[in-house]
A and B are shown apart, each in its own frame.
Chain A
Amino acid sequence: MQKIFNLACGSFYALGAYVGVSAVGWYVDAGGPPALFIVPLALAGLAVGAVGVVVERGLLRFVYDRDETFQLLMTFAIVLMMEDAIRLTWGTAPRSTAGLYLVYGQVRLFGATVPVYNLIVIAASLAIALAIGWLLTRTAFGRIIRATADNREMAEALGVDMRRVYAKVFTLGTALGTLGGALVIPATAAMSEMGIELIVEAFAVVVIGGLGSMRGAFVGALVVGVLRSIAISVYPELEMLLIYLIVIAVLVARPRGLFGGATA
């Protein structure tokens, strides 16, 4: 929406994951009922999104008027800093919440055993997607965001305070990233490299779906997720290779993505 291709979104995801692990750790140590661990997890994920304000005010706002190249490099600088900041805080060993996510039990679904926690995450992501859709299309704030994305000068001339919009949008994006990282972590483990690895996948999702299209991003995520699973079970060597080849195919055939309408 801000037309900034943020290489650092993966780093925020990693940050959310680590903070989520720590929050759950404290929560369990403090004797909270394990069944409610998702509450501190989600709260921690959202709260650490506040780092978005710092990054936006402290760094990104200086490069809005610059060439896209410099914006890209600025986010690359953030990637480098965040990776070591995470190492500095949490060390290099992977962190996880052990088997805590199994407290919700498992269900059999279409012949496969699925932890209930995974279903909760799927439901939560659907709810978040709907909420973002509602925010963008139905609220005044959403209209302002879309107007800014379409024509920044015009929006400014109409009295929109660009600095506040950008700060809010970036913080919202960051909070979603950190929340996503926190939610996914009980099922895997947090590693300091996860940020730079995720970015390539996130980038694939966004490109396949189309930049600036929320619906597209959702479909892109589905495509990438499903294809990865299929490739893993059929021919593991092809797993990520397949994703990149699709990205290239989409970029070449439809640079705006499958759902991209607006000119980027």
Chain B
Amino acid sequence: MKGGLAVALGAAAIAAAPLVASTYHVLLMLPFMAYAVVLLGLNLLFGYTGLVSFGHALFIGLGAYTGAFLTTHAKIRSLEVILLAAAVLGALVAIPVAALCVRYVKIYFGMLTLAFGMVFYTFVLKFYRLTGGDEGTPFLRPSLLGRSLDAMPKIDYLVGPYYYYSLAVLGLAALGMWRIVHSPFGLCLKTIRDNPTKAETLGIGVTRHRFYAFVISAIYAAVGGVLLGPPTGNVDPTLAYWTHSGNIVFMTLLGGFTSFFGPVVGAFVFIYLQSWVMSVVPYWRLVFGAMLAVIVIFAPDGLVGLVTRRRPAPAGRA
């Protein structure tokens, strides 16, 4: 139950952050929570099913652009409607993409997802009438639970209502994912990861389960993508670029893909370390690249793996 205690403490710390931490640090928590939602979904595919997508920036971008489009062009400001629309759209786009991608594994899967991600990137870049091209589209301030908060100063809005809204979404997303990975469906995914042949002989539809996992992870990425929009107020194509897909895989690995909350820890460390390194030198990629190399070589289980390594915990448990 040590894990449960750590999670409760973490949640309490996040909830208390706006009361004690500086505004700067609280604002950094917003992209952290958004990425945490994305990574919970990504890890269903990476850690639990054994498929590494190099194209999930597609769904982040899709979610973010859905929000930008609805607030700017369709005059729909309700964040609940936006999240729902992004989830539905994410699923609709993911269905054909997943159907094609899950026919392959390992490197081919990664390459195919990368190609789809770049199709979307090129689309948002070139069809500028719809997306604003490389300048992006504004993401107007959404209303929360039906209440328009346009009168609030931007910082108050972000560190106040929007912060707790994001936290609530993250909490629900984590709860939902916890249920998924601990359901019979989740067990099937782990079996597929460890031994697809055996899973097949046990009567598990391997391709079908991979397909479901992909679609669920895409929905999570789209929802997380929406949450990324309001803090910056603008959505641009770099969200969908392939290096962004690489960065989120990096976050997952940094925290540890073998544990449930590992990716969440990874997102936290990534965001804060990046902001700190960038305040010291502008070359954060050099530092992070070296860090990634070290993790890949010495600590493939990530930070959470380093902490829990001594305990003979079964793989895939927090």
Contacts and interface: CB of A to CB of B under 8 A. Distances in A.
Interface of A: 5, 7, 59, 62-63, 66-70, 72-74, 76-85, 87-88, 196, 200, 203-204, 207, 236-241, 244-245, 247-248, 251-252, 255, 264
A36 to B, nearest CB: 36
Nearest to B291: A77
Given A68-B106, A237-B127, A241-B122, A73 B253 contact: yes
B198 interface: no
Nearest to A81: B289
Given A84-B286, A88-B283, A251-B108, A62 B122 contact: no
Max chain A C-beta neighbours (<10 A), residue from B100, B114, B250, B288: B114
A82 B249 CA distance: 19
Contact of B107 (A72, A76, A83, A239): A72
Contacts of B300: 66, 70
Given A79-B243, A251-B108, A72 B285 contact: no
A251 B112 contact: yes
Contacts, number: 117
Max chain B C-beta neighbours (<10 A), residue from A5, A62, A84: A84
A69 B52 contact: yes
A238 B107 CA distance: 27
Contact of A69 (B106, B115, B123): B106
Max chain A C-beta neighbours (<10 A), residue from B108, B283, B286, B289: B289
Contact of B292 (A77, A82, A240): A77
Interface in B92-112: 100, 103-104, 106-108, 110-112
A241 B242 CA distance: 14
Contacts of B249: 73, 76
10 contacts: A59-B293, A68-B110, A81-B289, A81-B290, A84-B286, A200-B118, A207-B111, A236-B126, A251-B108, A252-B100
A244 B111 contact: no
A200 B120 CA distance: 13
Given A74-B297, A247-B115, 15 more contacts: A66-B300, A67-B106, A76-B250, A77-B293, A80-B289, A81-B290, A84-B284, A200-B114, A237-B127, A241-B119, A248-B112, A248-B119, A251-B100, A251-B111, A252-B100
B285 A80 contact: yes
B296 interface: yes
Interface of B: 52, 54, 100, 103-104, 106-108, 110-112, 114-116, 118-119, 122-123, 126-127, 242-243, 246, 249-250, 253, 283-286, 288-290, 292-293, 296-297, 300
Contacts of A251: 100, 104, 108, 111-112, 115
A63 B297 contact: yes
A92 B103 CA distance: 41
A88 to B, nearest CB: 6
B70 to A, nearest CB: 24
A203 B55 CA distance: 14
Nearest 9 A/B pairs, CB to CB:
A80-B289, A81-B289, A84-B286, A77-B292, A84-B283, A80-B285, A84-B285, A77-B293, A237-B126
Contact of B122 (A78, A196, A240): A240
A19 B300 CA distance: 34
B296 A244 contact: no
Contacts of A68: 106-107, 110
A245 B289 CA distance: 30
Contacts of A7: 246
B107 A84 contact: no
A29 to B, nearest CB: 28
A74 B126 CA distance: 31
A245 B296 contact: no
Nearest to A70: B296
Contact of B246 (A66, A76, A238, A240): A76
A152 B273 CA distance: 40
Nearest to B119: A244
A204 B119 CA distance: 12
B112 A80 contact: no
Contacts of B52: 69, 72
Nearest to B300: A70
Contact of B111 (A5, A62, A63, A239): A5
A244 B122 contact: yes
Nearest to A196: B243
A77 B296 contact: yes
Contacts of B126: 236-241
A252 B100 CA distance: 7
Contacts of A79: 243, 246, 289
A232 to B, nearest CB: 12
